[in-house]
Amino acid sequence: MKFPKLLTLLALFCLNSALFAKDRPNILWISAEDHGPHLGCYGDEYATTPNLDTFAKRALRYTKASSNAPVCAPARTTIISGMYPPSLGAHNMRSRVPSPSYLKFFPTYLREAGYYTTNNNKEDYNLLTDDKGWDDSSKTAHWKNRPNPDQPFFAIFNYTASHESQIRNENKNPQHDPALAPVPPYHPDIPEVRKDWAQYYDRLTLIDNHFQARLDELEEAGLAEDTIVIFWSDHGSGMPRGKRYPGWSGLHVALMVHVPEKFKHLAPSEYLPGGTSDRLVSFVDYAATTLSLAGIKPPSYYHGKAFLGEYQTKAPAFSFGFKGRMDERPDSCRTVTDGRYVYIRNYYPHLPHGQYLYYQQQTNTTNMWYQLFNDGKLNDVQSAFWQPHPAEELFDLASDPHETVNLAASKKHRKKLNQLRDALQQHQNRTRDLSFIPEPMLREVMAKGESPAEAFAHYFEPNQNRKKTPNSKISKYWRLVELLSSKPAKIEKAMPSAIAALDDKEPIVAVTAAEVVALHSSDDAARSKAIDLLVEYSHFPKYELILSIYAINALNHIHDAGIELPDSANDIEQKPAETPDWASAYRPRALELFQD
């Protein structure tokens, strides 16, 4: 008697699956790496993207979409988690931190609801977890492989033809004339730069062809009217001061959504084929939005808000961005925009946006631009990228779309500066931004098994006496960082404290103190001690990996300042056997700048 019951249950399951497929849409994401909205449908007359332009005529095009982070791994972490990575300790490039136990990647919710979930094929998340939510994540992953043809699917196809690395590859079939390339004012207008911009646009044409191939598959399978198609690009262009730049040229992305007629009830009120939306949307919203399209209520702990589907929300007033360590170069910036003005808060103002980053320098434009800067052949706008940046920057995209005129000191814009500054501070408090904990300290805490929330409580929340004061190690670290960009009188006054901090038991405090002393102390003995300390902390695995990279960066800065390093600096091992794969190139790239 049990066997017929089982058949009945199976029949009901199949019936429910078929109904489920009819009631809920398939969702197809098509994404392309390292390019902003440089498409014909976005008004770029140099672009050759006929398929995407045609798609835009029957889709809603978002004009103010943002990637939250200007580089792939942190940006992708934002998408998959539905949360701002700084709240998870996952904001640094390839930081590889454990995911908290409560967090489910959004494909997991889709899979649990009956969707077939595929990713073809890049992941590159900063969070480590046993379940990423994919039925298949591989080069062969495809919605066609679902076991039941009536099962709804969520599928991603990610294309790398536009990736930064492709700009510097040999182009055997050039299509765009370099002489006509739109060179932004922050780049030098030289043949090498024009050639790279032309090749970048050639790559966008390849993406356009790949995109159409995926649409054709839907049509051939008869699923076009059952599938919501979303096209998006992955942060700014691979050209320098696009990718890795925390301003709008590094964060602004293309985003277009097509909702078939049968699912128009899931579209936003402003949806119109061929229309545009000025709503501020960003990568952090993609998880909640995709769940909303599938009829799944987004979890309350997600930071992102749905802009499509059953659970869509009202438009936000601001969009937020972040930048942490980029490969071998520590950095810390935060961005907020209201859609017109962009505010950037730089927490390491002693460093330029254009730090000498090995991978970025492989692009010919970057090398030529850097050489011209060193030769003193650039104007002020072109030089700014390579110079230390101020703590605060404010740009008006309406009058200055390339972000070349900093309005932060303008009395006329003081009200707007204060508004965006306050919005950013509230956002950081609300999302519990962990970036104020130096990465070596954060990694030390996580190595002990603490979650990011535990790390936040450990350093910032009320202690046993219920006094809400920052951890003294954190405060000391940031006071020393501030000295790296302070005026000489302030540095001289603080020098005794900096010298004393060379003996601090917290390694990152001692490393930062050593950089201050080595660069600014007039005491030869203290400077020598500081440099020797940095050489010592540069050794891995004796000291934590990222701590050693901070120490090596400090030695880079000292060497760049014309201060001689001891012979022992040449003995720092570039790539110890214990170096994890994700960081295998970081130490060699940073060390090569001063080792003989």
Q: φ, ψ for residue 303 (rounded to 5)?
A: -80, -30
In a 13 Å sphere around the CA of 221, the CA atoms on its Cβ side amount to 18
| Cα distance between residue 527 and residue 35, in whole Å | 45
Give tens-digit pLDDT for 308-366.
999 999 999 999 999 999 999 999 999 999 999 999 999 999 999 999 999 999 999 99
Beta strands in 22-66 (DSSP E): 26-33, 60-66
Residues 93 and 240 in one domain: yes
Structure tokens at 219: 């049509």
Residues 587 and 515 in one domain: yes
Residue-level pLDDT at 2: 41
Give tens-digit pLDDT for 265-283.
999 999 999 999 999 999 9
On average, the pLDDT of the chain sits at 93
DSSP string, 444-485: HHHHTT--HHHHHHHHTS--TT------HHHHHHHHHHHHTT
Residues 383 and 304 in one domain: no
Nearest 5 degrees, angle CA 550-CA 555-CA 557? Answer: 95
| 328, part of any domain | no
| 339, part of any domain | yes
Mean pLDDT over 87-116 rounds to 95
CB 185 within 8 A of CB 155: no
CB 20 within 8 A of CB 146: no
Please identify, among 409, 430, 451, the residue that sits at the C-terminal boundary of a domain.
430
Give tens-digit pLDDT for 227-275.
999 999 999 999 999 999 999 999 999 999 999 999 999 999 999 999 9
| 522, part of any domain | yes
Residue-level pLDDT at 13: 41
| 446, part of any domain | no
Residue-level pLDDT at 450: 75
Q: Which residue has the tokens 């000391």?
A: 476
Q: φ, ψ for residue 246 (rounded to 5)?
A: -80, -5
Structure tokens at 20: 């489920």
CA proximity to 167, closest of 192, 140, 130:
192
Q: Please check the confidence at residue 20 and state whether its pLDDT lies above 70.
A: no
Please identify, among 270, 286, 316, the residue that sits at the C-terminal boundary of a domain.
316
Q: Give percent above pLDDT 90 in the chain.
A: 89
| 355, part of any domain | yes
Residues 251 and 358 in one domain: no
Residues 419 and 365 in one domain: yes
Please identify, among 413, 430, 447, the residue that sits at the C-terminal boundary of a domain.
430
CB 586 within 8 A of CB 578: no
What is the rounded radius of gyration, in angstroms, for the C-alpha atoms of the chain? Answer: 25
Q: Please check the confidence at residue 14 and state whether its pLDDT lies above 50.
A: no
Count of domains observed in the chain: 3
Mean pLDDT over 435-452 rounds to 84
Residues 261 and 299 in one domain: yes
CA proximity to 118, closest of 214, 36, 221, 258:
214
Residues 312 and 337 in one domain: no
| Residue 22 confidence class, pLDDT cut points 50, 70, 90 | low
Q: Which helix (H) or strand (E) holds 230?
A: strand 227-234
| Residue 454 confidence class, pLDDT cut points 50, 70, 90 | low
Question: What are the residue numbers of the active site?
Answer: 72
Residue-level pLDDT at 596: 80
Give tens-digit pLDDT for 108-152.
999 999 999 999 999 999 999 999 999 999 999 999 999 999 999
Residue-level pLDDT at 18: 42
Burial grade of 582 (CB within 10 A; 0-12, 13-18, 19 or more) = middle
CA proximity to 369, closest of 515, 219, 194:
194
Residues 354 and 470 in one domain: no
Contacts of 347 (CB under 8 A, 6+ apart): 332, 333, 334, 391, 435, 481
Give tens-digit pLDDT for 574-583.
999 999 999 9
| Residue 449 confidence class, pLDDT cut points 50, 70, 90 | confident
Residue-level pLDDT at 456: 72
Residue-level pLDDT at 554: 98
Residues 359 and 240 in one domain: no
Residues 343 and 421 in one domain: yes
| 369, part of any domain | yes
Give tens-digit pLDDT for 500-516.
999 999 999 999 999 99
Q: Structural domain of residue 370, as residue ranges?
A: 333-430
CATH of the domain at 13: 3.40.720.10
Residue-level pLDDT at 41: 98
CATH of the domain at 353: 3.30.1120
Residue-level pLDDT at 156: 98
| 31, part of any domain | yes
The β-bridge partners of 232 are 31, 255
Mean pLDDT over 508-533 rounds to 98
Residue-level pLDDT at 111: 98
Residues 521 and 479 in one domain: yes
| 188, part of any domain | no
Structure tokens at 65: 């979409």
Give tens-digit pLDDT for 392-428.
999 999 999 999 999 999 999 999 999 999 999 999 9
Q: Please check the confidence at residue 465 and state whether its pLDDT lies above 70.
A: no
Sign of the torsion formed by the C-alpha atoms of 279, 280, 282 and 286: negative
| Residue 464 confidence class, pLDDT cut points 50, 70, 90 | very low
Q: Please check the confidence at residue 6 and state whether its pLDDT lies above 80.
A: no
Three-state secondary-structure class, residue 527: helix
Residues 312 and 338 in one domain: no
